[in-house]
Amino acid sequence: MEFLEDITTSWIIIFIVTGFIAGYIDSIAGGGGMIQVPVLLFSGIPPIFVLASNKVASLFGTLMATIKYAASKKISWKVVSYAIIPCLVLSYIGSKLVMYVPDYIIQWAILLSIPIALIFLLKKSKEIKEENTKLSKKTIILSTAPVGFYDGLLGPGTGTYMTISMKKFLHLDYIIATASTKPLNLATNVGSAIAFLMAGKVIWFIALPMAVANVLGSYVGSHYAIKGGEKFIKKVLIYVLVFMLIANILKILFS
């Protein structure tokens, strides 16, 4: 792989800093991939290797966030227990399929999904916590599994979309939705990572330092999410979606 010769120590340092920032943002509102992926692409790494290395790095950061939220007892394990297997399986299928999807289709699919998420986020919804509502297995799966498929197929913003979906369709408050998203996002990362590992697409000397940085950023971010509560999380969600929208428009215009 000749492109690896251009990855200098300076690039590794940039990747580490990027990984920390991505881990911080992802642990609060998702969307860490929208920070890591463009930087990796800019270094000259081919897209499929970028997606694979990003997924492995994100996996470890999401694991840290899951541990932090579990310790704070904010995770709805009922939601997680119903949704985790469908999310994992569909993520694996998505990552197998993305290897055959043209880049321009991926770009437009991501771009179109962002304003839809913004509409759902800004639309007023019920303020009901999980412990006060009866959630059916079918409703939980239908609200989460499609996002799992999206994670494997495309990826950027999965945590954001999962949190918004839980808020709007399962009527969880943002802190419970954010916390419950993490073990599911961990499962989709595992399903996707398995597909990429089997295909030999992970660049380990890039993925591992970014993974360590992701863990540190995720630890700090999840701490502030738990401390800041619903208002803080919603504000970060809006910032992340607006950033994703602008970044994708610029990417399409200048590609």
* Average pLDDT of the residues in 112-136: 64
Q: Which residue has the higher pLDDT, 121 or 169?
A: 169
* Average pLDDT of the residues in 150-176: 84
> How confident is the model at residue 109, as a pLDDT?
73
Predicted confidence (pLDDT) per residue in 168-190, tens digit: 889 888 889 999 999 998 988 88
Q: Which residue has the higher pLDDT, 144 or 150?
A: 144
User: Is residue 85 classed exposed, middle or buried when 0-12, 13-18 and 19+ CB atoms within 10 A define those classes?
Assistant: middle
Predicted confidence (pLDDT) per residue in 7-62, tens digit: 889 999 999 999 999 999 888 877 787 788 878 888 888 888 888 999 899 999 99
Predicted confidence (pLDDT) per residue in 56-91, tens digit: 999 999 999 999 999 999 999 999 999 999 998 998
DSSP 8-state code for residue 4: G
Residues 61, 27: contact at Cβ < 8 Å?
yes
* Average pLDDT of the residues in 130-154: 82
158 Cβ neighbours under 8 A, 6+ residues apart: 30, 33, 147, 150, 151, 185, 188
